[in-house]
Amino acid sequence: MIICTSKMEYPLISQCKRVQKQVMVNGEKERVSLLFMKALVSRGSVDAVSQQMASHPQYLESFLRTQHYILHMDGPLPLPYRHYIAIMAAARYHCSYLVCLHSAQFLRAGGDPLWLQGLEAAPPRLRLLDHINKVLAHQPWLATCSHIQSLLKAGEQCWSLAELVQAVVILAHCHSLCSFIFGCDTDSDLAHLAKSPNGTPPTFCPFDAANGNANVPQSLRQPSEHITRRRSLDSSCDMVCLKERIQKSQEEQEKREERLLQAQTLQQTDVEDEEEMLCFADPSRFITDPDFCYQEFARRDEDHLQVLRVQDYSWEVHGFSLINRLYSDIGHLLDDRFRSVTSLPSLHSSDLKRAIWNYIHYVLGIRYDDYDYVEVNQLLERDLKLYIKAVACFPDVTKTPVCPLSWTLLKASERIHVNLLIMEARLQAELLYALRAITRYMIA
């Protein structure tokens, strides 16, 4: 009798594959849980952006590592400056979510609450960043060495090169993050939480309520189920026990009210002032020249000097080494983000991901001489191109991106993957223009 071993082994092989797949799934879930636990320990909440990115834990880990490094780790800029620069960047796109988030972190870092009244209340050094913030946000190809020179040679208010590089990284990071928030519609989903009830602590951001913050004020919490259950159990107790509990509860309540009244008497004015600045801050008060926005990058003969050719200035050859030299380790962190997002497992082919990346660079004035742009029209449908361009170039919450019809067939994780690609391609493009301007200043 002939025994077919392959058929006998097939159930075992199939079972092993299922177990392996389940282990991978469980491993990814544990990875996300660990990242969220770290966020809860360090910040007291898991922000909405991290929750959106959780379907891609490999990328999320890289993103959070970079964000933590530029906003909280060692660097030439004071912590309040970093968060205020983030506010300025987010305000260019009217991103209330990031403005509120960084306003809260600005106060926690010891920032002056008066600065939140608007850009005119900020120190002159920070106001000097307004022009390059505007250019990098909307028309990065206009960045020149003269912009760099005006900041580095501004007399008493001048910036050091190391400070400027960190500021540029924060600006680019937040500009591109606005694209992701806009594409995922995070900002509008949380806009209804913008108003803060009376009595909330000055460092409480209303978005914390949606992010699972354990420190959410009692007045904002929903009645929990266990309260109802405890009442039903108490009803079975004898009258003596019940009276003792009521009396003890009343005494504790009176003590709490007395302490609360004392605290409110001392802090009520400060709390109301800070809450008003934090939660009702209009992003437009942190920007100037609101009419300055994205313009179509036209390839004309007179504009040939504005075109950035990757063969002449690329991230791999030029940008990475320069930024790593001027801002230690940030080059490695950013490079890990770029590699991570393009290597994520996805239903999208590598050609499609490359087309999305190159198309974003194309509309921002960056050209690859070794790439056939006919592929962009072949692989990207018109409605998808319109969506990509809107999210990458003008992610303003006052507008609404029209999602492609083909997206209805995709999983949420696949749609998020496209938005991650848009964000990272946008980030790299902005950094290339800024670093090219710095390079030209250094060799001038």
Q: Is 95 a catalytic residue?
A: yes
| Selected catalytic residue, list 95, 100, 174, 393 | 95
| Spatial CA neighbour of 395 closest among 100, 52, 98, 81 | 98
Neighbouring C-alpha atoms within 13 Å toward the C-beta of 41: 6
Calpha distance 141→412 (Å, rounded): 33
Beta bridge partners of 308: 366
Q: Is 21 exposed, middle or buried (0-12, 13-18, 19+ CB in 10 A)?
A: exposed
Q: DSSP states of 178-209 as a string?
A: HHHHHHHTHHHHTGGG-S--TT--TT--GGGG
Calpha distance 207→196 (Å, rounded): 10
Under 8 Å between Cβ of 419 and 179: yes
Neighbouring C-beta atoms of residue 36, cutoff 10 Å:
18
User: What residue type is 181 in one-letter code?
Assistant: I
Under 8 Å between Cβ of 137 and 175: yes
Residues known to be catalytic: 95
